[in-house]
Structure 1
Amino acid sequence: MMMGTKLVTLLFILILTLISVPFSAAFHVGVNYGTVANNLPPPHQVANFLKTKTNINHVKIFDANPEILAAFSGTTGISLTVTVPNSDIPSLSKLPKARSWLSNSILPFLPETSIRYIAVGNEVIATSNKTLIGHLLPAMESLASALHLANVTGISVSTPHSLGILSGSSEPPSSGKFREGYDKAIFAPMLNFHNRTKSPFMVNPYPYFGFGPETLNYALFNSIDVVVVDPVTKLNYTNMFDAQVDAVYSAMKRLGYGDVDIVVAETGWPSAGETNQTGVGLEYAAAYNGNLVKHVNSGKGTPLMPNRVFETYIFSLFNENLKPSVSEQNYGLFKPDFTPVYDVGIMKTDQVRLY
């Protein structure tokens, strides 16, 4: 009888474990909430929609819009990444200005609004603006110091980078390295900052910008077979996203900072584009982002970083009708009326199917 009771108990625990894994497992996919449009719903509706209807728990905005920050007050489980505009970087490199910006833009909303990261600018290196680039790390240092002086914990400072930070020889992934002249002058001290402050290195990998006719399925996560074998590591790659992230990791490791966390600050695929634009359409966007969600939440990591989870932000939450091109207007997961453009498995009703 005792053995039977133990067996039943063990089976009960096992069932509970199996049931609880999908719902207790962290959802690692967030969204970029852009606002370059004239038809978007008010922020309080957006915050309520994300909280009640989706599994999204990370939201990145491209400024420090007080209306948005206030709208996410009390949205338990959703954290924000707030962005400093590129134009503000030089002034924020001075501690007094950084403290003033923090006092005006962030502190009034804490702790009711959960803020996870402050992103200092966006793809600053890609601007080739020497003034911005020269002030980037000092601004990051100043904001980190301002947070410390304000006794704020739980907010990290970072800056998102395009894959243009890598040299042209970053294929295969094991050969990834930062652009010559930028590696030791810019990225070594920046990675040292990330290492000291335990903040992540943010990158914006877009397989959409890297595919050709022969690599479309590889870019969309639709390849079952191995497409790329790294001749150095002998590791196999079935999708371009992993290859791009591993190339960044290789560049970081080359400078001695392979332990710094990586956050994917942007990635996505447009659901519409210009006439005769190949690889663009509803089915392609649904395939990329749907497969991305499954891949990230699987926790399998990448070939060079197995079992490592990457907080990943899809670009973007809404279609934005004031962007300059058709494709840029159609990166959204949702239309302005909250209708899904396509299904990628982020709605609460998708929980069982997702995992």
Structure 2
Amino acid sequence: MLHVNSRIFTSILLLLVSISIKGAKGIVGVNYGMMADNLPTPELVSKFLQESTIISHIRIFNTDPDSLKAFANTGIAVSVTIPNDQISSFTDLEFVQKWLVTSIMPYSLDTNIVRILVGNEVISSANRLMITNLVPAMQTIYTALVNESLDKSIKVSTPHSLGILETSSPPSAAKFRPGYDNHVIKPLLSFLRATDSPFLINPYPFLGCSNQTLDYALFRPNSQVLDEITNLTYTNMLDAQLDAVYSALKVIGFADIDIVIAETGWPSKGEPGQVGVDVESAAEYNKKLVLHVKSMVGTPLMPNRTFETYIFGLFNENLKPGPINERNFGLFHPNFTPVYDIGILRTEVFASSVCKHCHDTKYLFMISMLLYVAFVLAG
């Protein structure tokens, strides 16, 4: 009898967790990179994310069949990525139709594939051929999706670095780099608007901070930054970066396009003496990031908005090239223990949600009654 009651008690606690998660505003996802030789299998990763975290959205950097199969029947929303060096092939409709039949459709019934991302930070790559092929490839993929009646469930977009901006300070004066704005970005935005797809951006306050701006980048109390054009005050660098993107979109007539944070994060290890690169700073940025995007506070130019946000990344990737910090953006070790705690494990979220909503009579009554029933049944 005790075993049965314990199971009932556990089930009710899981129900409470589920309620707290659904009540939270905003979407927090994660980038699931695989450039490492020590990572768990996609099946184990899928099971961990589903059972132990609140992560409901992931992005993978390929169309790996094992990963797409692993996330089948989990409900987790998956964005797949076409690598930059393959973009030119996707301007050919016959090629794309065959690719769709072999790489997407076998998994789309069971796996919640929500986006096909064409490359990553292509416009900032300075590769003219790749940039020229970007929008045609997106259009061709969309045509193939329409032909298979998948265009409503799967959207097409591409992530951008802040390098697409000519200027970002002050945020209200931001605009896209000349040359790209009319010839590439406008056609791209026209495509996004026509297909009801979002504009994806990769803001990294870590890359723009110094000793003087570290507190501003980490959401800490700081002297704040005034935009003298709008007279709006910025308390953190992420808001300023997002508003710079919004302003650039507005300048060319696309302020209505949704903005998604495709990548952001903070490394936990870097070169000796590198400013703010340590476990404590990484934990602080990502934890405050989650709270900020779920708060529905928005930004000075976009008040009361939430942003679908993907943290980079799920694991440290020991085979990534470049400086030390590139291999140390992970939230978890390969054995699924946290590199640091940002409150995305289910038990942590439940506890924080109870505290957050305890002032709300509706939540207090609901939680009190369910806990009372749980303890009586477990008694």
Fold shared per TM-score above 0.5: yes
1:343 match: 341
Identical columns (%):
53
2:271 match: 274
Checking the alignment, whether the CA contact within 8 Å between 2:21 and 2:54 is kept in structure 1 is no
Q: CA offset at residue 21 of structure 1?
A: 6.4
Checking the alignment, whether the CA contact within 8 Å between 1:27 and 1:55 is kept in structure 2 is no
Q: Secondary structure at the match of 1:106?
A: helix
Name the CA distance, whole Å, in 1 between partners of 2:19 and 2:35. 39
Q: CA offset at residue 23 of structure 1?
A: 3.8
Name the CA distance, whole Å, in 2 between partners of 1:304 and 1:35. 36
1:198 match: 196
CA displacement, residues 269-327 of structure 1 (integer Å, 9 cap, x when unaligned): 00011112121000110011010000011111111111111101000000111122321
Q: How many residues align?
A: 334
2:238 match: 241
1:189 match: 187
1:149 match: 147
Q: Secondary structure at the match of 1:236?
A: strand
- Which runs of 5 or more structure 2 residues have no equivalent in the other structure? 1-17, 357-379
Name the CA distance, whole Å, in 2 between partners of 1:260 and 1:110. 26
Q: Any runs of at least 4 consecutive aligned residues in structure 1 with deviations exceeding 4 A, and if so which?
A: 19-22
Where in structure 2 are the equivalents of 1:37-52 lying within 5 Å? 37-52=36-51
Structure-1-length-normalised TM-score: 0.92
2:295 match: 298
2:87 match: 89
Q: Secondary structure at the match of 2:175?
A: coil
Name the CA distance, whole Å, in 1 between partners of 2:298 and 2:77. 23
Deviates most, 345-354 or 120-129 = 345-354
> What RMSD, in angstroms, separates the aligned Cα atoms of the two structures?
1.4
2:316 match: 319
Aligned partner of 2:258 among 238, 243, 261: 261
Q: CA offset at residue 250 of structure 1?
A: 0.5
1:27 to 1:303, Cα distance in 2 relative to 1, 3 A: closer
Checking the alignment, whether the CA contact within 8 Å between 1:33 and 1:317 is kept in structure 2 is yes
1:118 match: 116
Q: CA offset at residue 38 of structure 1?
A: 0.2
Checking the alignment, whether the CA contact within 8 Å between 1:41 and 1:336 is kept in structure 2 is yes
1:130 match: 128
Name the CA distance, whole Å, in 1 between partners of 2:299 and 2:287. 17
Checking the alignment, whether the CA contact within 8 Å between 2:25 and 2:306 is kept in structure 1 is no
2:366 match: none
Checking the alignment, whether the CA contact within 8 Å between 1:27 and 1:57 is kept in structure 2 is no
Checking the alignment, whether the CA contact within 8 Å between 2:315 and 2:332 is kept in structure 1 is yes
Name the CA distance, whole Å, in 2 between partners of 1:29 and 1:22. 11
Name the CA distance, whole Å, in 2 between partners of 1:132 and 1:249. 25
1:68 match: 67
Checking the alignment, whether the CA contact within 8 Å between 1:226 and 1:236 is kept in structure 2 is no
- Which runs of 5 or more structure 1 residues have no equivalent in the other structure? 1-18
Matching residue's letter, 2:69: A
Matching residue's letter, 1:138: P
Q: Secondary structure at the match of 1:213?
A: coil
Name the CA distance, whole Å, in 2 between partners of 1:27 and 1:253. 23
Name the CA distance, whole Å, in 1 between partners of 2:309 and 2:194. 22
1:166 match: 165
1:7 match: none
Name the CA distance, whole Å, in 2 between partners of 1:20 and 1:111. 27
Q: Secondary structure at the match of 1:333?
A: coil
Q: Secondary structure at the match of 2:156?
A: strand
Q: CA offset at residue 25 of structure 1?
A: 2.9
Name the CA distance, whole Å, in 1 between partners of 2:209 and 2:23. 35
Matching residue's letter, 2:254: Y
Name the CA distance, whole Å, in 2 between partners of 1:235 and 1:103. 50
1:67 to 1:22, Cα distance in 2 relative to 1, 3 A: closer
Higher RCO (C-alpha 8 Å, min separation 6):
2
1:56 match: 55
Checking the alignment, whether the CA contact within 8 Å between 1:118 and 1:158 is kept in structure 2 is yes
Checking the alignment, whether the CA contact within 8 Å between 2:78 and 2:114 is kept in structure 1 is yes
CA displacement, residues 168-197 of structure 1 (integer Å, 9 cap, x when unaligned): x32010011000111111111111111100
